[in-house]
Amino acid sequence: MGHYVPFSSSGIAKVVVLLTMFHYSWHMFDHCLYFNTSALARRLEREWAEAFEPFDVTPAQGFMLRAVIDRPGMLQRELSDELSIARPTATRALDGLESKGYIERRRTGEDGREVSIFPTAKALAIKAGLNGASGAVTARLKRVLGGTEFTDAVSTIREVRAALP
């Protein structure tokens, strides 16, 4: 049995506005949530990949690094939870950030199995640039969609994500 999610028709319409950025013609998948959200995810991946390219990080690594810079000492499991990703996925992204000299892992004193994540001086040096690059993408999307529509679309997508088991 599915969950009932009270969406306003305007909220869904705003998500559709996001999806129309792709200029695809009508076909059997136009009303498919999976197809449209996947297409949107691929498009947004390209946007942030270009933004984070000067820092030699993927979009996933870029957002992860921003979280680590914002909360130094966060446990790896807390980072996974905050980013809504599986722990093995977080481990792979952190491996990449560590190999590039952006983060340092430290075993916690309380439990040797727990790992805290800290930004390095190299990471702190790019904080403003990383946040600025991400902010520029967000600003551009808000100009394209409209500020309220952007905010409403993000909110609606978050509601859909939360409603699914």
Domains in the chain: ranges and CATH: 9-163 (1.10.10.10)
pLDDT at 78 over 70: yes
Which pLDDT score is estimated for 82? 92
Which distant-in-sequence residues (6+ apart) come within 8 Å of 85 by Cβ?
60, 93
pLDDT at 117 over 80: yes
22 band by pLDDT with thresholds 50, 70 and 90: low
The two tokens of residue 41 are 């995810």
Average pLDDT over residues 72-83: 93
Phi-psi region of 7 (alpha: psi -120 to 50; beta: other; left: phi over 0): beta
pLDDT at 86 over 60: yes
pLDDT at 2 over 50: no
Which pLDDT score is estimated for 3? 43
Which pLDDT score is estimated for 10? 58
Range in 10-14, 30-34, 40-44 the model is least confident about: 10-14
What's this model's pTM, rounded to 2 decimal places? 0.78
